[in-house]
Structure formats: C-alpha cells, structure tokens
Amino acid sequence: MTRVVVLGGTGHIGGYLVPRLVAAGADVTVLTRGKATPYRPDGAWRRVTTIVADRVAEERAGTFGPRVRDLEPDVVIDLICFTVESARHLVEALRGRVRHFLHCGTLWVHGPSVAVPTTEDAPRRPFGEYGVRKAEIETYLLGQAQRHGFPVTLLHPGHISGPGWVPVNPAGNLDLDVYRKLATGGEVALPNLGMETLHHVHADDVAQSFVAAMANRSVALGESIHVVSPAALTLRGFAESVAGWYGKEANLTYLPWEQWCGTVDAEAARLTWDHIAHSPNSSIAKARRLLDYRPRYGSLDAVREAVEWLAAQGRVPGW
C-alpha cells in the first residue's frame, strides 16, 4: 500500500484529493493546522490519519521536515508551500527518502503571456509577491530534480473553483454583487473592453491531476504541468454567460481602468488588477499527453457549481 502524506489536505484541493487517494487504495496521512474541517464531507476521511501541525513554527524550529520524513511516506503532496525556504527545508529532509514529491504551484509563475494558450516552456516573467515566490520555488525544485535527481512534479492550477468558496467573478474579483447584478439585469461595469481573460479549474480536476501524476510517475518526474479547464474565459463572455443562467441579457458597461477603479473598493481593484494583468490562458496539451488529464469541468461549469452552492446559502440568487 502506497503511503501518502498530504500537507494542507483539508483545503479546496484536499477535499477532493484525499477521498480520491483513499479510493485508489493509498494509506493517507494529512498534516493540517487543525483550523478547518474538510470542505466536503466524505466517508473516506474515517480512513485518514490526521496530524495537527503548525508548519511555520515547526520550520522555524527545524522540525517540520524531519516530522514528515519520520512518517516514512512513499509520496508527499505539498499543497501549502509559499516560500523557497519552506521548499528547501522539506527537500533537505526528504532527499533520498521519498519516491515522489508533488508540489502545487500556480499559473502565476508565468507573469504576462506572449503567445496564448501559454505552454509550460514559456519564459518566466513573474510579478507580484505571490507569483515571484512561487516561481522561485519552481526554479529551486526543478534544479533539485535536474542536479540531484529529486523526484518532483509541479502542477500549476488556475483559479480554483467549486462548491465551498467564492469563485473569481467576471470583473476579476470576489464581489458577490457582480453575480447578483447579472442575475437581476443590473448594470455591471467591466474594466477596459472586458477582453482580458480568466482561467478557472474545478478543485476536483486539480485533485485528479495529482492522482494522475502519481500514476504516471515515470513521465511526470522533473516536469511542470498546467492543470486548468480546457479553455479560458474573457471577462465579457463570462459575464454574458452568467447572466444567461438567469435568463437575462448582460447589462454591461466598459470603463477605462482608472475610471473603473473608482467604482469599487481598494481590495476589489487590487484583485482585479492582479487577475487581468496576468490574464491567464494556458494550454493543457502537456497534461493530456503525459498524464492523460481529462478535466470533467469547463471554466463555466466549475463556476456554475460554485454559484449554485452560494445560491443554496442564500448569498446570491438561484435560478
């Protein structure tokens, strides 16, 4: 039986990944801060060993990597690594002691695209703290694979969506009023011409990709691989589609960026800028070829399931 340790297994991805691993016959241990229950109830969790650990504090003390190593895993899946120091601490503890190490990256390692859909071999031009840090982690881990044979695979999701949390909306932020206005025929302002892009992915498809990478270890080692839906969305097309779910025609206006910022709060503007400055639009050809990755959800399907969950909570209108 394959022993799998999942770091951060109670979050968005882990809620789908852990039951998939159990169903595949793995012996699963989840390390978590213990501050959240799994997003999705599933009987599989009764067969999972859960360990509460403060990663930040234990890394500072130098004990986190050894703790993971001492669990004697065959596979480690790291869903919550955000600094190269954190990655280095774990690699140094696990070198020569683990068969496969899978890291959850992000499309943000790319920065702005040149040719789309963006492929994994496109030059890295990251910006913003998150993108820069994740790109540093990618460089470090791939270097460890190339120079020392460390058995790593990096999987890069887009905007993770699904029931349990708020999906990035057609204005590129998390304001639920955007969905409410589209549902009722209200006016929604989009920045510029609404032609920037977003690339969603359902959390279950991300989970699928980790299991597929484990199953296809021989070709996945030393690789960075995109895991997103089959196609990105333009802001405008996304808004029109959401309105259509409610039987409405989208009432859209378009404002220059500086003017548009005056219509939202600072946090919404920050999130929108981060999303549209990246405008992700990524290829999954490599994931299909190496992992036989077959996403079940298109971008709109992933968002719709999340919006249905929000409607059931009374936070947005239903249809």
**Could you give the 3-state DSSP secondary structure of residue 292?**
coil
Per the CB < 8 A criterion, the answer to whether 163 and 308 are in contact is yes
pLDDT at residue number 298: 98
The helix (H) or strand (E) run that includes residue 207 is helix 203-215
Residue 35's pLDDT is 65
**One-letter amino acid of 144:** Q
The gap from C-alpha 87 to its chain's centroid, in whole angstroms, comes to 18
Q: Tens digits of per-residue pLDDT, 161-200?
A: 999 999 999 999 999 999 999 999 999 999 999 999 999 9
How far is 4 from 24, CA to CA, in rounded Å?
A: 11
Distance of CA 191 to the CA centre of its chain: 24
Give Cα separations from 194 to 131, 243, 256 (angstroms). 23, 15, 10
CA-wise closest residue to 237 among 222, 223, 250, 219: 250
Which long-range CB contacts under 8 A does 146-152 form with residues at least 24 apart? 146/222, 148/95, 150/91, 150/95, 150/101, 151/98, 151/99, 151/100, 151/101, 151/217, 151/221, 152/101, 152/102, 152/103, 152/221, 152/222
Decide: helix, strand or coil at residue 200: strand
At residue 151, the pLDDT reads 98
Length of the chain equals 319
pLDDT at position 38:
73
* Complete domains list, the chain, with CATH: 3-160+200-227 (3.40.50.720), 163-199+231-280+297-312 (3.90.25)
Q: Tell me, what's the pLDDT at 34? A: 76
CA distances from 37 to 10, 50, 76 (A): 6, 11, 21
pLDDT value at residue 40: 77
Task: Quote the strand ranges of 139-196, DSSP E.
Answer: 152-157, 159-161, 187-191
pLDDT tens track of the chain, all 319 residues? 899 999 999 999 999 999 999 999 999 999 998 766 777 787 898 999 999 999 999 999 999 999 999 999 999 999 999 999 999 999 999 999 999 999 999 999 999 999 999 999 999 999 999 999 999 999 999 999 999 999 999 999 999 999 999 999 999 999 999 999 999 999 999 999 999 999 999 999 999 999 999 999 999 999 999 999 999 999 999 999 999 999 999 999 999 999 999 999 999 999 999 999 999 999 999 999 999 999 999 999 999 999 999 999 999 999 8
| C-alpha distance across the termini of the chain, in Å | 45
Q: How far apart are CA 48 and CA 70, in angstroms?
A: 17
Structure tokens at 63: 């004990």
Question: What is the per-residue pLDDT for 33?
Answer: 87
- C-alpha 113/C-alpha 190 separation (Å) is 21
